[in-house]
Amino acid sequence: MAGWRVLVNGASGGVGSLVVQACKGLGAEVYGVCSGGNSELVMGLGADGVIDYRIHDPLEEHLAQKFGEQQFDAILDCAGSQALFSHSPRYLKPEGKFVSIVGGWSQGVVPFVRNKLRPRFLGGTPRRYDLFLLSSSGSIAKEVAGWVEQGVIKQAVIDSEYPMEQAVEKLATGRARGKIVIKVASTE
């Protein structure tokens, strides 16, 4: 990833805030997409630049203007945007990768089938599309722990601490800043 130019969509969220740090720590030039109120947070994670998707609407038009000549090597979508992929030939290199981490039926499976399997002559976007879904695994946890030890990931951004019911509500807003900590009741 050293030397790559990477765009992280949803850069201020629980996953995005870690992805920004990981990409930066592995040597990439990183641009984060988030709302203006979270720009400082994302820059503080090491991003080289921030794009406020509320000011730059449509985002894809802005990306085409700003990065049309210096295209991205990878786009990591932590917010789930079909438009970002559909327009990607304007700002993602032909050999570049578009990786979505958003799962579920409508935002995960359907886009995967549409974007991965539809051939170009039927209107498919001429860029590589991957869906990255993790299941809990000790080996991955060890790798991430190694990144923390090496200073690749420097900080955990914590939105706030909530009891389980409120944590689910907060998560459903899609407006978390970093990770939501679930407060587990003590048995004592």
| 31 contacts ligand NAP (rule: CB under 6 A) | no
- β-bridge pairing 49-52 and 29-34: parallel
Taking the C-alpha atoms of residue 19 and residue 11, their distance in angstroms, rounded to an integer, is: 8
Comparing CB distances to ligand NAP, the nearer of 118 and 175 is: 175
Q: 78 and 45 in contact (C-beta within 8 Å)? A: no
Ramachandran area for residue 119 (φ above 0: left; ψ -120 to 50: alpha; else beta): beta
Instruction: Tell the residue number behind the tokens 């990770």, with chain if given.
Output: 179
- Which of 6, 78, 157, 167 contacts ligand NAP by CB under 6 A? 78
Q: Smallest gap, in angstroms, from Cβ of residue 122 to ligand NAP? A: 27
* Pick from 11, 71, 81: nearest CA to 45: 11
Comparing CB distances to ligand NAP, the nearer of 83 and 145 is: 83
| 53 contacts ligand NAP (rule: CB under 6 A) | yes
Q: 46 and 25 in contact (C-beta within 8 Å)? A: yes
| 28 contacts ligand NAP (rule: CB under 6 A) | no
| 21 contacts ligand NAP (rule: CB under 6 A) | no
Q: Smallest gap, in angstroms, from Cβ of residue 169 to ligand NAP? A: 12
- Which of 5, 6, 7, 9 contacts ligand NAP by CB under 6 A? 9
**Amino acid residing at 73:** D
- Which of 92, 101, 153, 167 contacts ligand NAP by CB under 6 A? 101
| 55 contacts ligand NAP (rule: CB under 6 A) | no
Taking the C-alpha atoms of residue 76 and residue 24, their distance in angstroms, rounded to an integer, is: 13
| 15 contacts ligand NAP (rule: CB under 6 A) | yes
Q: 39 and 50 in contact (C-beta within 8 Å)? A: yes
| Residues that bind ligand NAP in the complex, under the rule CB under 6 A | 9-10, 12-16, 33-35, 38, 53, 78-80, 101-103, 132-134, 171, 174-176
